[in-house]
Structure formats: structure tokens, C-alpha cells
Amino acid sequence: ILNSPTEQDVAPSGTFNVLSISIDGCKWSDDLTSIENTKGITYIGKMISEFNYSVIHVQGDLNLASHNALYNSDHHSFRTTISEDRWHQNGLDTLSDYSWADFTRIKWEWWEDQAKATKGFTFMRVRVEEGVYIDMINLHTEIAAASPADSIARLWNIQQIASFIDSHSAGNAVIVFGNTNSLYTGVKDNIYLLTARNGLTDAWVQAIGGTAPRSGGNSLQCPKGVPPDISCEAMDKVL
């Protein structure tokens, strides 16, 4: 059971940075001696430490070997733990410079079975200063596929997040970041609900001028690999 919204202190201004990253492209292997299976994850762990990201939300962390490789190469002080039962692990983890309270894993009310993993979202109340907390949500919605069942499930996933924020974070600062599998231009997507209903601000939308792409408009989806600039839209979002 989560605590009621936290009474916040007035803190001096400050900055921190966040990152959302999916690592589900790794092979399914528990061979901890397999360098080929884990060298990419080891590199990621080193880079997120080197670039001093304050809070990192990870999706697709379903493999014990790659999970250990990530954590062994990272230096953040606070990190969530992975379930020993990988078949019922939602693949969501967080590495942070800040401590937190009220951490919980929540299943989607509507989801399609994918790779035997129960996707969902996590909630934590992150303490950034004495008496100052930010509610942070890590999510991985249903896959962005053409299947009607996938599309419906994804709509309900975002709806569930919006309702959760209404009921658990009213009056609190909130940051949602993770793999939404959604695009503003997608006619079957409702990612705009988090801005219109919950009053969140999309960091990418602000970076491109403050106006979100129109639903049904030309897709701006980023190509595979490193985007050439910030004008393309990624499904990983920070709001």
C-alpha cells in the first residue's frame, strides 16, 4: 500500500538528469562467463556511470547474466533488485544517485503474453533533497505491433498510468520515463493523455519547440541506430 502524497519542503533550485534505456536485445543466457553475451551491457553500465546520469530507468532487464554485467559495471549508490524468477520478472530496474521510498512493481491490467514476461510499471518516491520527493514511474507498454490486441492493450496501459498518477501522485512532482511503444503521430496511440490529463511535459516536445506532432500526421519515428538529430521521435519518452 502506497503512502498518501508527500508534503513537500521548499528547496533551492537544482538540476539532475535522467535516462531511459532498453537492453532487451541481449541473448537469453545465464552463462556468466560468456563475454559475447554481456560485453555490450558491460559497456552500457560503464557509460551511464561515466556520463553521471542521476536516475536511469532500464527496460528489458530479463536476463540474469546481462543484469549482473550491468550492475557490476555501474557505480550508482541505489539500485533495484531483479526477481530470481525471470519468467515472472517485468524487466524494469532503476539505478539512482538518490534513495527512494514506496517502491513497488505493478502489473498491467491488460497485456498480451510476450516472451513469458509480465510487463508493467514501477513506482518509487525519489528523495532528491531533505523533505523533497519526486514520484518516478518506469514503464514498458505492450509492443508496438499491428495486432489489434496489442494496440488495445497499449491504450489501456497508458490509461492505467494516467489513472495511477491521479490517485497516487496528486499534488506531487511526477516524472514518467520508459518505453511507451507509442508515437504522437500514431492514430492508435494515446500518449498525449499523460500531457492533457496529468499535466506532464514531454522533454522531447519542449526541445523541438513545445508543440507535439499531430496525431495521424507524418511519422517522425527515429530510424534504427543513433538518430542524426533530435527532430525524430523515439518511443522511449521522458515526461
Question: Per-residue pLDDT tens for 103-139?
Answer: 999 999 886 655 445 689 999 999 999 999 999 999 9
DSSP state of 86: G
Is residue 188 within 8 A of residue 150, CB to CB? The reply is no
The x, y and z cell numbers of residue 15, run together, are 538540476
Bridge-based pairing state of the strands 93-96 and 78-79? antiparallel
137: β partners: 123, 176
Q: In what order do the strands lie in the sheet with 174-179?
A: 100-107, 120-129, 132-139, 174-179, 236-238
pLDDT over 90 (residue 233): yes
d(CA 219, CA 117): 29
> Which has the closest alpha carbon to 203: 176, 163, 164?
176
Q: For the segment 154-205, what is each residue's pLDDT rounded down to a tens digit?
A: 999 999 999 999 999 999 999 999 999 999 999 989 999 999 999 999 999 9
DSSP per-residue codes, 109-127: SS---BTTB--EEEEEEEE
| Domains defined for the chain, CATH in brackets | 18-238 (3.60.10.10)
Average pLDDT, the chain: 86
Q: For the segment 52-88, what is each residue's pLDDT rounded down to a tens digit?
A: 999 999 998 877 788 888 999 999 999 998 766 655 5
